[in-house]
Chain A
Amino acid sequence: MLLMRVTLPRKLSLGLCLLLALSAREISAQSYQGRELVKATLLADTSAVVPGKPFTAGLLLRMAPGWHTYWKFSGDAGLPTEIKWKLAPGWKAGEIEWPIPLKTNDPGDIQTYGYQDEVLLMQEITPPPVIDDSVVKLTEEVNWLVCEKICIPGSANLQLELPKSTTSAAANTELFARYRRLLPQNWPGSNVATANWSRAGSDLHLTVTSAAVANYPSADFYPLPQGNTIVGHPKVQSRKPNEIVFRIPIESADKNLLSMQGLIVFAQRENGSDRVAWRLASPAIASAVGSAPARGTITFLFFGFLGGLILNLMPCVLPVISLKIFGFIQQAGQSRQKVLRSGLAFVAGIFVWFIGLALLLIALKAAGREITWAFQFTNAYFVLFMSVVVLVFALNLFGVFEISLPQTTTRGLLGATERKGEAGSFFQGVFATILATPCTAPFLGTALGFAFSQSPAIILSMFLAIAAGMSAPYLLLCARPAWLRFLPRPGPWMLHAKQFMGFLLLATLLFLLYVLGAQRGLEGAIWASCFLLIVSMACWMKGAFFSPVASGKAKMIAGATMSILLLAGAVYFIGDKFSAAKIGPGESQLPGDWQAFTPERLQAELAQGRSVFVDFTAAWCLTCKFNEKSVLESAAVREAFQRHGVVKLKADWTSGDPAITKLLQQFGRPGVPLYVLYPGKSEEPIVFPELLTKSIILDKLENISPTVASQ
């Protein structure tokens, strides 16, 4: 590297030349292999220094075409330009005022922030109140890195000479004015724009709400990470007319980082010369951090509670809940204490399950596993196990057999009947909650999405809130048993109602078998059903031959037969047949014009300039099925997709495909459903709400039509 001293500037205006002649300065040029790469000039916005009156000094860097220097945060490569002033005592230099940089993307997903052609880095200089010399000499050492295909470091010692005077005139007006326009503005008042931060896993989410958003097709967040924070590439997560959400991945381990300094950059197009920016500085962030998350947590806990309350009405749980209500009705005439004990046991069952689930999630999270809601339903054996439980309960309701908990072991300390009642209530609570999980995703999705990214304590609180919500009605009945009288009186109708509930459970079983079919194909569902048949027979034998009145010998034979049947059935149908069952070649075909999602296919379609819609779904996700039938497969939406040439991909998460799990997490979702429209390669994906409507889809499709039409 070579430093050359050039005496006369070239492309400066006549007026500027005059001023330059008046105030001597140093210009420095960096050359590389005979080419001038960077010319550095030190300038001031004043013709003279007035003691005590601040002025602005500017380092003008002119880069050869194609070469660039870097912003305060250089991005994935490069280094910011450094300025070290050598000022006499009493003089002060302010921070560098960095103009809004350009964002560059290079192959290999390398993103940098910098300046091409020319940049002026301004700093406020405050002279002391008394200056002895008649001519002021200010010196600075500058270091920069200039890159094109290769990077070359450069440096210069620059000097600015200005006369001391009692008055001063403006100098280099046009240049300074041009770069002042390119400086980021301070954050406007909260009546103009608000910024809210939240943390979701390893991502920060920044929501900017302002009417100004609508005026600029291009909006971006340029991060200014502090300390050891490593930031990924910020992306626009979603956009509404007056709201934009940025997703900012944090790659370093600072789990407590809740916000970041940076610029919100607006322009008509990316890197446009009309770009303007708001500076998101520490004070604005501090206030956001102070209030928002605290309120956020309580709000989300409230939603958790509400979600838990609503769970009682879900079709998944209703049959079990009804059982409990029966219990209450039966107990209406009994002692208050007994009612209370049974109710609390039921509630304890609910809490134990949720606490267990929370602890499991915390443990999995600690182990670094990818966690998602309803994840247990992606496991075919779990679904099978639930099928068995549901069937056994249904047969019990039909009166095929009675559930008798091991009385011999519990008889003693407490009355046997009491113990039986409480243990039964407890397991009903657990059972109700297990069944509830697939129904909860749409209602609790938001709250859980929040919770999964939080500390173990918050995850646990969240699950406790849901448990509390679900238990609330029973706790209420326990606390005010008198209100039980609003429930109908016991009578023979109860037997019929009980049997009717059995059919509801069988309907649940059908749903579970459907899920199994989606996971393991028709064969898998049939083998599972074979095993269920064996289970039914065992239940029948239990009712018919294992009754308390049967002789010991009959019991022994029945018990042995049942055990052998169950064991043989499990080994043959499950261990052998079911475990080997795969989805048959004809079964995995997707409906109509849908194609199976793979990350590669998504990239390939986008690379060809097509818009892509991805439906993240699962066989056990009822909300997904509802959305698909009522919206995605409706004639209007199908026609619109076709007209806009949108490629439709189905991401089937029924068996928990890890590639899909990863993408779900990128969108901050713990589970399905998720609907995303990628309008094109360079545009940010649009995320739709979990409950779709035709109009939402049609609106967004109309908006992307210009892009599509131009291709």
Chain B
Amino acid sequence: MLQGWVIIVVSFAYLGLLFAIAYYADQRADAGRSVIASPYIYSLSLGVYATAWTFYGSVGRAASDGVGFLPIYIGPTLMIALWWVVMRKIIRISKQNRITSLADFIASRYGKSALIGGLVTVIAVVGIVPYISLQLKAVSNSFTIVLQYPEIVMPAKIGAVPFLHDTALGVALILAAFAIAFGTRHLDAAEHHQGMVAAIAFESLVKLLAFLAVGTFVTFGIYNGFGDVFARAAASSKLRAMLTPLEGVAGSYASWAWLTILSMLAIMFLPRQFQVAVIENVDEKHLNKAIWLFPLYMLAINIFVLPIAFGGLLRFPGGNVDADAFVLTLPMAERQELLALLVFIGGLSAATGMVIVETIALSTMVCNDLVMPVLLRLRVLRLNQRRDLTGLLLGIRRGAIVLVLLLGYLYFRLAGEAYALVSIGLISFAAVAQFAPVVLGGIFWKGGTRRGALAGLAAGFLVWFYTLLLPAFARSDWLPIGFLETGPFGLALLNPQQLFGLARLDHITHAMIWSMIANIGAYVGVSLSTAQSAEEHRQASLFVDVFKRSGEAGGARFWRGTASAPELFGLLARFLGPASAETVFQDYAHAKGVQWPGGDLAADAEFVHYVETQLAGAIGASSARIMVASVVKEDALTIEEVRQIVDEASQVVAYSHQLEQKSRELEAATTELRAANERLQELDRLKDDFVSTVSHELRTPLTSIRSFSEILREDPKVELAQRRKFLDIITKETERLTRLINKILDLSKLESGTTEWHESPIDMKEVIESTMTAASQLFKENNVRLEARLPQRVPRLVADFDRITQVIFNLLSNAVKFCEAGKGRVEVALAEDNGFLRVDVSDNGPGISPKDQKVIFEKFRQAGDALTDKPRGTGLGLHISFHIIEHYGGRIWVTSRPGEGTTFSFTLPLVREAAATDAV
């Protein structure tokens, strides 16, 4: 079934499907319901990194040096981890400045310099054309191979194809049509091509599935799993060495490291990657998922590369079959027609995806940064007077797409056969790596100047051209091959592949080392020895400090001059078309709350900046600058003024940081104050409670004293026995009053620290026994049992006998209060415990709730509900005890569970006196 017409029909059906998807996505975008606003689509669209080079070439490279192809996919994994910091910044800058391409980005950073934009464009086109030709070659080769089915013959053996029957040309033209249809449909200030992105994401899926399918077939269909393939490879003497391919720090390890670096840079600076990652990004947040999804895609598409490579080498041992074609020839050799067709489509999708995005990105660059700046400067054309330039702009872009594709085709026809797929791709990688210093330097270092960037780019490009592209030409017989062996004019030191005698490196590593030295050296060196203009300084500060400024108005602060709204409208209408310009103006007027047209739309700095940014979205920053300057009267700012504005801005930022800091401190202080205030209010409430409790306590005895005194005074005939009884009560109540007042006085002394302590060596056992005797009457009255568990002897300690007695008495009277008459039982225990004496007073009362346990030692606190329970004490006893024990460096605490009784315990240190003496 693999006749030519079947393949052609299927290919066209596939491309038709792409058109349909792109068309549908564009329709949805126009209707405001974007299909690409998803991190998954974004991650898949990044998969445009995997081209035909990955699809066919990885296996080719793996078949020659084992793991040598992997750095090209591991590098992006290492780089994308840095995207959180780096790419987010680039995306933010690009959105604020309406950047339309990589060239625009670099030109914009270095003072909107048209010269830099042009240079970047030239480097990109020269560097990428071989890469595009590589895709055409892959499609054409795979088509030729499939056509030979069931024979397996390499295209090189078939001989020259007549020009008109060349599939590569046909492919190039169809792809040009696609790129024109979806890349230059209309001019859009946001420069999004949603249809293209949707198609690319779909292609990423197709190529992944196709590769996984053929990988699974080879690994599990032809062989019995990974282990089997590798075991057979290990058994072959020729293949065994590839299982441990790395050797020599200057050899394959250096290649490995430099390939990693190269691909780290390529994933950011290939024009198509910049296009999908930055320009087509619709939401910065999509980056988050892509950071791990995209590496996962890379991993998945590489899992089967080694098994296919070994499988191919084992299956076609003669070397007649190109390893680049194993992916296709293995299923063909096994008579799997459908699979072969799927592989062909997978390869087609890998190639077309790359070519479409790359040509669209390059055409934007060529139009905005190469052709337009020149046309606008040519006064002969009188472009300034043309009413509508949108047609011209689109025409230039379409022309650029066709031109780039034809250049790629030409390169393929003339030079394509000299190299394997991987080598051509790497030459392109090395070219775009030259953008890294000026971009990365540009977004993190304000010091880079326009001349520095020009010098760096030019130096890097020249070295690349000399060490990589010229040798490639030489191999294609465009230059005498002797040039590679002996150097130009027989000067061995200038040998392009062993520059200054640096030998033993592969030519990519060699070229990268020299070009990076030249590039970074010139960029930094010249930047440090030249001054920035006002425009450069302003752009540098806008780029580097992008996160410190808010909104697009950042650039407006740097502009002074006069302009009129109708003139600006005329300008915008010429490039965007009147309808789009109308929308842009109305959006702005709406945001400002004024009328357009007819209203008083002020053409102030902010508005001029707004218009310039919108225009930059269509024609690039440097052209937009020229055009806006032509219709407004500007007062040029001096470098000093720009510096001042930048400094002011950074001072404002610093102030606002300080303010934030201060307000945070204030907030903290307020919280503390509020807590303190709450505490004070609580204490105040407690004091009120206390006063009422004490008043109550005081009033009860006072009332009875007074009433009995009155009886005695008014009725002299009271019997003697009665009289004595009354006097007894009066005396007792007076004593109670005295006790209460004493306690209060005691507490105030304790708290103010004016208590006198009469210290002497005391025997704790003695203290407990005497206190128990004193309290025995109380226990008898309440019908509660009192028991003691005391050791024979305990060491003496130094303390105030009366105070400690007071503590124990407090605990005992406290216990008895909460015990039920008849059943109640209180036990006192004494023990020596690790340098402390410990006293426990346990009862079998109702227990104390955990909530109350926490506060029971506080002043005026009593267990139980203050509202419903009758107070059963002054609430001072425990607090006083706490102070006394604390004074002696001991600890007092309570353990209790509701319903299971309560144990109050305290400890006193035995060595207190000794320790105190030591301390002095």
On whether the two chains bind one another, the answer is: no
Could you tell me which A residues sit within 8 Å of B by CB distance? Answer: none
